[in-house]
Every structure is written in structure tokens, then in C-alpha cells.
Amino acid sequence: MKIFLVAAFTVLAASSAGTIDSPAAAASQSSDADQSLVGAIDVHVHSIPDSETWRIDSIDVARLAKSRGMRGLVLKSHWESTAMLAYAVRKAVPGIEVFGGIGLSRAVGGVNAAAVEEMAKVTGGFGRIVWMPTLESEHGVRSSGSPGRPFVPVSRNGVLLPEVKEVIGVIARNHLVLATGHSSAEEDLLLVREGRAQGAEHIIVTHAMSRPIQMSVSQMQEAARLGAFIEIVYVHSLTIPELRRTAVYSAADVAAVIRQVGAASIILSTDMGQVGIPLPPDGLAAFARALGAEGISTHDLDRMMKENPARLLGLPVS
């Protein structure tokens, strides 16, 4: 099955050459010499195959990232494990660190320790991040325009559910990354504290400035004091009227948070792959340019785009 999967992806990648979203075409839209990307790792990339529609497939985005000098990517699905996908992409595109993970959606049984255990066993060990519920989080659903949708809870009356604590134990034992998903800001802090109590080495607060989380600066500072990384994503700083996309925050807002929380505790990523917007490597480069224009130093950008993501994933930091 794995051999078939690698072959199928290789054929797909070859067939897409020359299309608008092929690495060659996309790379021509931006500078290959962008030093902000050399050694960078984007820990939040969406791609196909998936049950959602994204702009580019996983092999092509890995090839594009490699051509821009990036060190690595984390492939994310809201619904499925991407650990096997990461293995296949590494076979098709050697020379770039590609990781996956598992989003604890209803499709994988919700907050399901067995699913996390199996993901951790996948060949290569490239399944690295465990996202608490995202699009089906209780907080996200109740905050949405469709509050009657099914959801996956992580807490009740201010206390984490037993199955959440069990999953965090699996994360800690397998040296995985605990990501807080689309939980509320208060739940994020509960998750970070429990992760620390159980010995989880790697914790990230998922896009803390974005909806539906929207952590306050003091909450981000507390999470950072507890040892978590704070993820800030580029996609939610974009306003694109034709796509009915409105920015949640500006580059100036992000720069202010970096100064208050500290670059040592922040990871910059894209959360990109959507149809109609730039590809993830181009988004990451644009994020760096926008923050540089706000006075964030190259040293701090390197820390947030290269060093901190490497630490989160357990990679050596040069």
C-alpha cells in the first residue's frame, strides 16, 4: 500500500508540471533568493489530497519549498492523520523535512488515544503533531454561525475531560507535539498546564491571535512562561475582498505581540494552501517582509521561522 501511495503521488506530481500551481510556475512569481526562507520551517501547511479543496498538492508544495531553500513543512488536515502522507512526500521529494500529524476530529474518533498511538507508530516517525479538535472544537462550533453542528469537547466546567488527559499522556510518552487546536483561550491554558504536568516536551498554542481563539497578550505571556510556543499565522492578516476574506489582525498587531511576548516563544507559520491566495512559501516570505517593515529584526525573524520550529519538532538547531 505504501509503495502504491508513493507511486501514485509521483505520477500526480509529474502530471501537474506546467500548471499554474506547479512548483516551476509558482516559483516564477517570487524571488528564489529570498533569504528569509532559507532554512525556514512552516509548521502549518494545507494541501491535497484531503477531503477539503486546497490549491496545491503535497508533493508540489514540498518541491516548491525545497526550491526556495526551506528546511521543512508540516502537512495538516483537519480530519485525518497525515503521517503516511509525510512519509510518501519524503520519498518523492528527498532533501526536505516533511512531517505530518493528526487532528482529533470526529472522523478519527474525536479525542482518541488509540488513534494517536497508531499515528505515532507510522513508518518513519514523521507523524509529529497532535492537534486538539479544530473545525469541530466545541468552542469553535459555539462561536460560529452554525452552533448546532456536532462538536468534540475538551473540557467541562473548567476541567479537562479524562480522554484529553489520556491523549496528553500518549503525546508525552511518544515525544510528540501537543497543539491546542481551536480550543478557547482558557482551554488552551488548561491544555498547556496539563501538558507540562505530564511531561510533554513540545507544546504549541495553535494560531493564538486568530479566530476563534483570540488570546489576550497576558494569556499568551502565561502560555509562554509555561514553556509553550505561540503560533501566529500569516493567512489571517490578509484582506481579499473578492474571496470575502477580512484580516483579523495586521502586521503591526503581530509586531506588537512579538515585542510583548518575545520572539523566543513565537513561531511564525502560514496556515495556507487555500485556493485564490499565495502558496505557503510565498506567504511565509511575505510575512517576513511585512514584519521586517514593522521593525522586527532579521535575527528575531530567523528565530521565529527557523530555530523555534526546529525546536518544536525535535530537530537540531544550528
Tell me the domains of the chain and their CATH numbers.
2-13+34-313 (3.20.20.140)
Give which of 1, 2, 42 is closest to 287, Cα–Cα: 42
Residue 81 pairs with which residues in a beta bridge? Answer: 102
What pLDDT is attached to residue 27?
42
The predicted structure's pLDDT at residue 298: 98
Strand 127-131 versus strand 97-103 pairing type: parallel
Q: Distance from first CA to last CA of the chain, Å, rounded?
A: 36
Nearest 5 degrees, angle CA 300-CA 304-CA 308?
Answer: 125
Q: In this structure, how many other beta carbons lie within 10 angstroms of the beta carbon of residue 263?
A: 19
Contacts of 287 (CB under 8 A, 6+ apart): 234, 237, 251, 268, 270
Phi-psi region of 116 (alpha: psi -120 to 50; beta: other; left: phi over 0): alpha
pTM above 0.75, yes or no: yes
Closest CA to 283 of 26, 63, 8: 26
C-alpha grid cell, residue 241: 475582498
Lookup result for grid cell 499554474: 20
In whole angstroms, what is the distance from residue 138 CA to residue 271 CA? 21
Q: How many Å is the Cα radius of gyration of the chain? A: 18
Instruction: Give, as one character, the DSSP assignment of residue 107.
Output: G
Q: Which positions of the chain have pLDDT values less than 50? A: 1-32
Nearest to 134 by CA among 184, 72, 191: 184
Beta strands in 133-217 (DSSP E): 155-156, 159-160, 177-179, 202-205
C-alpha span between 74 and 57 (Å, rounded): 13
- CB burial of 111-128 (b: ≥16 within 10 Å; e: otherwise) equals bbbebbeebbebebbbbb
All cell numbers assigned to 288? 517576513
For residue 168, what pLDDT is reported? 99
Grid cell digits, residue 63: 518541491
Ramachandran region of residue 125, left (φ > 0), alpha (ψ -120 to 50) or beta?
left
Task: Please give the pLDDT value at position 116.
Answer: 98
Residue 318: what pLDDT?
A: 79
pLDDT for the residue numbered 109: 98
Q: What is the C-alpha to C-alpha distance for residues 129 and 112, in angstroms, rounded to an integer? A: 14
What is residue 69's predicted lDDT score, i.e. its pLDDT? 97
3-state secondary structure of 189: helix
